[in-house]
Amino acid sequence: MTKAEKVSFTINTLEKLYPEIPIPLDHKDPYTLLIAVLLSAQSTDVRVNQITPLLFERANNPYDMVKLRVEEIREIIKPVGLSPAKSKAIHGLSEILINNYQGEVPKELELLEELPGVGHKTASVVVSQAFGIPAFPVDTHIHRLMYRWGFSSGKNVVQTEKDAKRLFPKELWNSLHLQIIWYGRQYSPARAWDLDKDIITKTIGRKSVIREYQKRKKAG
């Protein structure tokens, strides 16, 4: 297959598997999505979805959030990990949204990245999922699969994002990044990986990755 054919095969396979794409993090508006994505750093979506209802019951907008003490936020979000830094970031960004943006979450990637605790990936998720602006947030699943499929060198997420944006049509970015995440979780995980179930990697994958998988499987 040519690179273009591999890209087309990937897009078509993902579309067949995920014609309707669920959003991993529960939210009701850009602010609650922003907080949920911030909380998901080095945690799982399942854990975050268990905690955010407790937090949003107390405060689901920046005006209510700043009424809580940082220690109160920290106590609620403790199960997701990194609670000292995340609680300060949530309180701090809520103050900035009130003071600078009339309590609204900005749509601009650069402005989002200036908020406490908000990196490029978090900002990209927000502009993509909350505002429908084309972006390609790269998480560990996408980083892993872009390498397995031979679409990126896999050296770092910055390069992986550039490669993804170069290979895939811009109008598909928002759906594709979610489809790849779900595919990675269900068919091509980092551990307990079964190549026979991973139709995309089995069909177009990097030969060295497939050889290494077969070598490990043969060894036991």
CB 23 within 8 A of CB 36: no
Q: What is the dihedral of CA 78, 84, 85, 87, to 10 degrees?
A: 60
Whether 16 is a known active-site residue: answer no
Please count the other Cβ atoms lying within 10 Å of the Cβ belonging to residue 25.
17
Query: Helices 30-39 and 120-131, interaxial angle, to 10°?
Result: 150
Q: Which of 45, 107, 139, 162 is catalytic?
A: 139
CB 13 within 8 A of CB 182: no
Q: C-alpha distances in angstroms, 45 versus 18, 80, 155, 209?
A: 19, 9, 25, 28
Whether 139 is a known active-site residue: answer yes
77 — phi, psi (to 5°)?
-95, 5
Which residues are known to be catalytic? 121, 139
